[in-house]
Amino acid sequence: MGKRVSFMNAIRDGIAEEMRKDPTVVIMGEGVGERGGSYGHTKNLWQEFGAERVIDTPISENGFTGMAVGAAATGLRPIVDIMFADILYEIMSQVAQQAGKLSYMSAGQYSVPMVIRAQMGCRITGPHHSACLYALCMHVPGLKVVVPGNAYDAKGLMKTAIRDDDPVVFFEHKFNYAVRSELPEEEYYVPFDKANILREGKDITVVSIGPMQDKVLSAIEKGLVDADVELIDPRVYVPLNFDEIRESVKKTGRLVIVEEGYLTCGAGAEIAARVSETVMGSMKAPIVRVAALDIPHPYAPVLEHAMIPDEQDIADAVNSVMSHK
């Protein structure tokens, strides 16, 4: 029997397991030490591993991210906690120009085995702390991009990310932190090269990004969707796990992509383009993307709710695609 663990604690437990195995794994960020992180997401790590490996930093994300790049290139495996994905705009020079390019520019003499934890998503946190910026990182050569959708995947993917020799940007949705899943007692890893087929179906393929899988499943359970849905979570977006999506669309001939990231140039746009290039002959209806509006995130809950997709938006998209016979 497994145990029910929250998304947040699953990630923390995965980090702790890897830190016990490998003394080169360290974590750094604002308040990650004795305080246990702004969300409690590093709770007890400082007590177990000490201040030399759980490093409280000044409020200088560009500085400590650069420090982590150098540490990764010279023997450590740092985990950088930037607290909010929006901080990527502040540290992008270190992430894109240094971490993403160092292995290439050194002809493989250096690797940069680091993980950047980026908390994302709406939760009444306003325009500076709410964006889902995985698509931004998808456009940077040299980075791997991971967006787990549930606690099981979050733990297993984090453990895989820590062991990876390339820089990984690991996006964690704040709204998911309290959501629990049953996790096995034994140790496990989730590989980067396999999408998660959450539900098999014959009528339409729905690709959900991150926590959107819960909204899709909720729409189905509430009877809002008039179709037998095959639901796929790619898990990893660079390198994109596309094989499962391609084979599903070949079977169903219909595709809806659901994400909380911005619509324009989003991950959904990349997936739609690849489907168009490879299996367009199988399509029975246009591809539909469901995503956040291209506006700054509002503080007001009613406006925030209007900005991001909900169960009814997803159902309307699926039913619209299914109307094409």
E strand or H helix at 218, and its extent?
Answer: helix 212-221
**Rounded alpha-carbon distances, angstroms, from residue 224 to 214, 229, 244, 291, 312:** 14, 12, 25, 18, 7
| 129 is annotated as an active-site residue | yes
The one catalytic residue among 18, 30, 41, 129: 129
| 172 is annotated as an active-site residue | no
Both tokens of residue 214? 């819960």
In the 3-class helix/strand/coil scheme, how is 117-153 assigned residue by residue? EEEECCCCCCCCCCCCCHHHHHCCCCCEEECCCCHHH
Collapsed DSSP state (helix, strand, coil) of residue 161: helix
- C-alpha to C-alpha distance for 167 and 72, rounded to whole angstroms: 9
**Side chain identity, residue 216:** V
Beta-carbon contacts of 21 under 8 Å, excluding residues fewer than 6 positions away, are: none
3-state DSSP helix/strand/coil % of the chain, to nearest 5: 40, 20, 40
Half-sphere exposure of 204 (CA within 13 A, CB side): 29
Beta-carbon contacts of 168 under 8 Å, excluding residues fewer than 6 positions away, are: 114, 115, 116, 143, 144, 145, 146, 161
E strand or H helix at 264, and its extent?
Answer: none
- C-alpha to C-alpha distance for 299 and 323, rounded to whole angstroms: 36
The one catalytic residue among 18, 61, 259, 270: 61
- C-alpha to C-alpha distance for 144 and 168, rounded to whole angstroms: 5
Strand pairing of 236-238 and 180-183?
unpaired
**End-to-end CA gap in the chain:** 45
Query: What is the set of active-site residues?
Result: 61, 129
